[in-house]
Amino acid sequence: MTDTTSGTHTTADIHQEKVFEAHIVACLTADHGYIERDCPSHYDVAHALDTELLFRFLKDTQPDAWQTLEEHYSVQAEAEVLKRLEQALKQNPTHAVLREGIKLVPNIRFALCFFKPASNLNPDLTRLYEANILSVMRQVTYSAKNRNAIDLVSFVNGIPVATLEVKNLLTGQNVKHAEKQYRQDRSPAGEPLLTFKRGAIVHFALDQDNVSMTTRLMNC
């Protein structure tokens, strides 16, 4: 079993899927600037969002727009953002909403992601790009209908962009088992996280040797 005092793993430990999961998360957090978040405390099942990070990003990067929003909507400011974001995601795919942002009445616009500038000549653009919040969550119980969980979900500013079903070859399972799990046990019907265009942009099945992906989940 895991030695919780030293962080090391025994030979028996490495034959568990969760160890491979933990390794991926460790790489993302240590080498790529991700922060690890907890499910269920940080995951809003109904909206398929990490709302805390979403609002943190908006308030930190666009304080003037947020102040205007609060002046107009008062205590309903956050609810209005979620309402408008949900409408946008139903009308346009997630990647387009991330690129275009959302608009609220009266004449309030929020960017949901800042893209890397072509150069470092404008420090404000660089600062905004660096303010993006990348995060990852393990064992995301995404469904209000059952207790199904996705092994890993990655987010940009609280908005999910990728799901991952992970298999450890040492358990006798591989990427094909992960693909089968998506096809047979991860119905996208009524699930915001898995709905084509509305939810995560891409879905990965992987083991230590192979990775496959799809942008649209379908039961078969």
Give CA–CA dist 32/113, Å, rounded.
Answer: 17
| pLDDT tens digits in sequence order for the chain, 220 residues long | 333 334 455 445 656 789 999 999 999 999 999 999 999 899 999 999 999 999 999 999 999 999 999 999 999 999 999 999 999 999 999 999 999 999 998 899 999 999 999 998 999 999 999 999 999 999 999 998 888 999 999 999 999 999 999 999 999 999 999 999 999 999 999 999 999 999 999 999 999 999 999 999 987 6
- Determine the pLDDT at residue 145: 87
- Determine the pLDDT at residue 1: 30
Neighbours of 174 (CB within 10 A): 17
Handedness of CA 108, 110, 116, 120 (dihedral sign): positive
- Determine the pLDDT at residue 13: 61
Helices (H), 62-190: 63-73, 77-91, 94-100, 123-130, 175-185
pTM: 0.91
The values of phi and psi at residue 153, to 5°, are -135, 135
Where are the chain's structural domains?
A: 13-45+133-214, 51-130
- Determine the pLDDT at residue 3: 38
Would you tell me which CATH number, out of the four given (3.40.1350, 3.90.1570, 3.30.110, 2.60.120), belongs to the domain 13-45+133-214?
3.90.1570
The CA-to-CA distance between both ends of the chain, in Å, stands at 37
- Determine the pLDDT at residue 4: 36
